[in-house]
A and B are shown apart, each in its own frame.
Chain A
Amino acid sequence: MTTETPALSRLVPVRRWKSFFESYGQEFVILAALVVLFVGVGFYNPRFISANNLTSMFVGNAYIAIAAIGMSMVIISGNIDVSVGSLIGVLGTISGTMAVNGYPVILCWLVPVLIGMVINAGVGVLVAYVKIPSIVVTLGMLSILKGGLISVTGGAWISGMPPEFMIAQFRLFGLPSSVYFMVVLTALAALWMKYSPFGRAIYAIGGNPEAARVTGIRIQPAIVGVFTIHGMFAGIAAILFATQLQVIQSTVPPNLELTVITASVVGGVSILGGTGTVIGSTLAAILFAAIGSSLVFLNISAYWLRAVQGLMILATVLADMARRRRI
């Protein structure tokens, strides 16, 4: 604080509901959509909102939500990563291979996360210092990771991991650990984005890089930092992805990067950078899971799933455009 500001004794009015709603508009919309979906489909078939089904929706998609946290940060900083699906495939395989070969479980969890951070730090360096657009670097990484993974593993399935390795299957108070991971990581990331200088710097860089520079933010290290953190979330997502089932398919999950990017964007992260929250992307990931599940409950052929997803993105983005123009 400065010494020259007059007394702070004057009370600042509590944030008004309106401005709160404005800054979290997208999150409310998704929540509303979730509620509509749960009520509507639940009415049609009450088992949709049974505790079991809700849990499995979260469990099966927690890794997408977690990967979307990092992706949101990358997009907020004004970049993008189209290689995250391949990275998750690679890290999951590394983790499983280590577990099968008897490394201590802790290492099996930590090493892939670290490798993810190192790989993405490299991507960050290429983006920030060598100034290659992030979409080009990650397009290249997509090929390298995907091809590299299959070259090395031949796509063999990994099974026979020790039970203590299967972190996604641990349960606490009846809930699987992936749900805790999703909730805790989202909350931590949201707090970090809101309350840490680095988190705010990410918004500043995405919103107005020139102003960020003048404000004294060191943009290049910050970009490397964002990608590194993104690598960490991808690593955690990969561990959950790998330990969810008894078997790891050592290939790249198809279209995972698009699903993750979509979750971020529908969650309210502007592709132009500068706005959005990680809460939104997690909610959007849950929404997608809920839609996927609801199609089965509504007896709608899975053919239409992709069409619904496309319409969802369009609707969200158009509505967001309309909202912005009105303001």
Chain B
Amino acid sequence: MTLVLNRMLRHEVILGVLLVAALIVLAGQSEHFWTADNLLNQGRLMAEVGLIALPMTFVIVTGGIDLSVGSIFGLSAILLGVFWQNMGLPLPVAMVAAILVGGIAGLGNGFIITRFKVPPLIATLATLALYRGLAEGISQARSVRGYPDWFFGLGQGEVLGVPSQLWIMIVCFVIAAFILGLTTFGRTTYAIGSNEVAARFSGLKVDRAKLLIYGASGLIAGLAAVIFVSRVSTTRSDMGTGLELDVITAVVLGGTSIFGGRGTVIGTGLGLILMQALKNGLALSGVKGDGTIVVIGAVLIAAILIGNLLSRDGD
């Protein structure tokens, strides 16, 4: 059993070591880094990317990819404002509706991918442009502001001293880890990514699973958008631009194979934390933003490289 665990978690172990090393170095660079305040705050800042990375892990484990999450994020954000201000819906209803629209947009991706057998990269490249265009067209580039105070509790408030969105993220993280690791749905996800034909031939509901996964990806992007709007108190149609690259980087850094079939939610969590720790820690130790980007790119390649080299003599 330990042997199996080792094999399954090899990348996670490498990543964990990297993370610990990074944390130690970063903490040595700035006394502000290793403080509860800073760490909790980082949790707040990474909540949106973190949330979207969870369904993205599923997507990539099935061998797919979803480039449209940033655009769905923008679309949901804009619609939250439009539903609430222009259509006069009560804010809670508008929130739910905006999240649902995200889910529908995600289902749209899933539909194109399963029904027409369009490769996910292309399908979501198309909807990346399409959903962003809709967001811009619908909003006519106007921002919606002036939300009631209670709404900001979601993105700016705290529960038991921990940022509220961090709770949401932790709950979603546990649920995602549970689903992918322990349930029949998780097994189906891995089976699809390893060998979609064999999964289909084994009587698994492949299309339904993919539809659900892409739908969830959109839904969570919508949820993240609502949280984000609450954090920054305004909606704009350009929100979430380029978000997909951050999310995919975190997931791939977390050891999920871009070819599918391999990856864990725990790995994604580690990848996320490593990324955020680098962003924050390097900034605190005086490295500028552009330098941080370089380091993250290099760490991404290095992590996969090390993983490849180690697995070569493993298998």
Binding site for B on A (CB under 8 A): 80, 82, 126, 130-133, 135-137, 139-151, 258, 261-262, 265, 271-272, 301, 303-311, 313-314, 317-318, 321
Contacts and interface: CB of A to CB of B under 8 A. Distances in A.
B128 interface: yes
Nearest to A132: B304
Nearest to A151: B290
Given A272-B119, A317-B122, A307 B291 contact: no
A309 to B, nearest CB: 4
A143 B308 contact: no
Contact of A317 (B126, B293, B294): B126
Looking at chain B's contact residues, the main secondary structure is helix
B20 interface: no
B297 interface: yes
Contacts of A136: 252, 258, 300-301, 304
Nearest to A131: B308
Interface in B261-315: 288-298, 300-301, 304-305, 308-309
B137 A132 contact: no
The 9 closest A-B pairs by CB, nearest first: A307-B133, A310-B130, A143-B297, A147-B293, A306-B133, A310-B129, A313-B126, A147-B294, A140-B301
Nearest to B138: A303
Interface stretch (B26-34, B110-118, B175-183, B188-196): B110-118
Interface residues of B, number: 46
B207 interface: no
B121 interface: yes
Interface string B27-62: 000000000000000000000000000000000000
A135 B294 CA distance: 17
20 contacts: A80-B121, A130-B305, A132-B304, A139-B249, A139-B300, A140-B297, A141-B297, A144-B297, A146-B290, A151-B288, A151-B291, A262-B125, A306-B132, A306-B136, A307-B132, A307-B136, A311-B126, A311-B130, A318-B116, A321-B118
A271 B119 contact: yes
A272 B120 CA distance: 11
Contacts of A311: 126, 130
Interface in B128-165: 128-134, 136-137, 140-141
